[in-house]
Structure 1
Amino acid sequence: MRAWSVVMWIMMAPVIAADHNAAWRAYQQGDYAHALPAYRAAAQKGQPLAQYNYAMMLWRGEGTAIAPDEAIVWLRKAADGHLAQAQYALGLLYENGDHLPRSQTDATHWFLLAAAQGHTDAQTSVATQYFLGRGAPKDMVQAARWYRQAAEGGDVGAQYIVATMYEKGEGQPQDLAEAWRWYSAAALQGDPAAAIRARDLGQRLRGAGVASAAH
């Protein structure tokens, strides 16, 4: 029975992919009348990405009347199917109490699942939950950990926060050279406040003879 199931899944996979590709092509062309049923067909076959996209069309009322309650049903299916974007979106709905009972604990749960898969926005969100003690115990070590991961993923806001945490020694040992490095990374992405902090901290480090900040 197990072998039969594997064979059937291999045979079904291209069909599911084809359904989803057809839906995507129709959506890109603005043909919501065809995209919606195509996404629904793929979603009903258990394809998490199709479930997410179908949910988003229902949420926005694309090709149908706006249907947030039904959208959440499909969004949760996609989140249960381990789609990080769906997990993050569900976390936002719980965080804001948008068509769901507001629950910071549930928001943190879904943010964590998405963050563990490398979803940068979710990493920033879960870091903030730990930083504020909102829906999770206040934990500066965990906050620093997740901000650092988001910073490494290129999130400019997280880069600035990581820099301030290194500068102040919050959640991690104080390290001014690391603080300068992350202020500089944020500055390179156009953050003017980070540029000022990088310049000022760089001058302090050069005065102290720290070679890494002298460049």
Structure 2
Amino acid sequence: MRLPWFLLLLSGLAQAAPPLPDIEGWQDYQAGRWQQARDRFQRAAADGNRVAAFNLAIMHWRGESVPVNRDKAIHWLRVAADRHLPQAQYALGLLYENGDGVPRSQPQATHWFMRAALQGHRVAQLDLGTQYYLGRGVKQDLRMAAYWYQQAAEQGDAGAQYLIASMYEHGDGISQDLESAIRWYARAGVQGDVAASLKAIALARRISPSPSP
């Protein structure tokens, strides 16, 4: 299940997340002084600030203080992504995955997910694992899928925890290890995944069946 920073997938990419804080203009933005916020973000972005560029992208995407302008939004998103901001890299990957404002391209989506994942972006790691698992934009590689799912799982992503548990259970892309599968299913279960909890219980019974009366 996706919980992206920049855009939530509802029907394509529709809803921008709030700008990133800790940058000049952030207080103006929160107070609804969008023109002042945009002017300050613009100055900071021109001086090389990647967070300000990301925030400008969101304001243009949403039409805050200016008419909606997807071209300008994508321009500033690219600026932030090229300056190695993982949230921007991941967001750009989502746009390419869905063809929203840019030509749909799974290779480009995978490229940007990879750049964000290498910086530790949890959801990018999950989505990169899926790209490898399905062979979207990259040659199918279950070993790499397992690697990236585990990276996201270790950061606490419940969906990734379920997926890596399943891969351990079935030996997909990784050596079969039922104890590891139980552990990851259980960790997802603790976060509210009922199906994962049931899988953990069922596997535990397979490994240590109850003695006959």
TM over 0.5: yes
In the aligned structure 2, how far is the partner of 1:199 from the partner of 1:27? 48
Of residues 158, 161, 185, the one that matches 1:159 is 161
Higher relative contact order (CA 8 A, sep 6+): 2
1: CA distance, partners of 2:89 / 2:172: 28
1:76 corresponds in structure 2 to 78
* 1:21 counterpart SS class: coil
1:171 aligns with 2:173: yes
Output the amino acid matched with 2:184: W
2:96 corresponds to which residue? 94
Contact 2:24 2:44 survives alignment (8 Å): no
- Deviation (angstroms), 1:30: 2.0
TM-score by length of 2: 0.87
Amino acid at match of 1:204: R
Note the C-alpha offset of 1:106: 0.5
Q: Aligned-residue CA RMSD in angstroms?
A: 1.4
Code of the residue aligned with 2:113 in structure 1: it is F
- SS in structure 1 opposite 2:23? helix
What corresponds to 2:67 in structure 1?
65
* Paired residue secondary structure (1:22): coil
Q: What amino acid sits opposite 1:125 in the alignment?
A: D
Gaps of at least 5 residues in structure 1 are 1-19, 210-215
Residues 152-175 of structure 1 show CA distances to partners (whole Å, capped at 9, x for unaligned) of: 011110000000000000010000
* Secondary structure in 2 matching 1:63: coil
CA contact (8 A) 2:93 2:112 kept: yes
Structure 2 match to 1:139:
141
Q: State which structure, 1 or 2, has the greater radius of gyration over its C-alpha atoms.
A: 1
AA of the residue aligned to 2:86? A
Aligned to 1:44: 46
User: Aligned-pair distance for 1:22?
Assistant: 3.0
The question of whether the paired residues in 1 share the 8 Å contact of 2:23 and 2:52 is answered with: no
Which secondary structure does the structure 1 equivalent of 2:102 belong to?
coil
Report SS of the residue matched to 1:185: helix
Distance 2:200 2:62 in 1: 42
| Cross-structure match for 1:180 | 182
Percent identity reads 53
3-state SS, counterpart of residue 174 of structure 2: coil
The structure with more helix, counted as a fraction of residues: 1
How far apart are 1:36 and its partner, in Å?
1.0
**Helix, strand or coil: the match of 2:66?**
coil
In structure 1, C-alpha distance between the alignment counterparts of 2:210 and 2:175, rounded to whole Å: 18
Partner Cα separation in structure 2 for residue 208 and residue 38 of structure 1: 66
**Who is 1:14 aligned against?**
none
Residue matched to 1:206: 208
Instruction: For 2:210 and 2:62, locate their aligned partners in 1 and report how far apart those are by CA, in whole Å.
Output: 56
Match of 2:129 in 1: 127
Q: TM-score, normalised by structure 1?
A: 0.86
Secondary structure in 2 aligned to 1:193?
helix
Distance 2:111 2:44 in 1: 27
C-alpha distance in structure 1 between counterparts of 2:174 and 2:148, whole Å: 12
Q: CA deviation at 1:208?
A: 9.1
State how far apart, in whole Å, the 2-side matches of 1:51 and 1:122 are. 20
1:80-138 CA-partner distances (Å, limit 9, x unpaired): 00000000000000000001000000000000000000000100111100000000000
User: How many residue pairs align between the two structures?
Assistant: 190
Match of 2:150 in 1: 148
Unaligned runs of 5+ in 2: 1-21
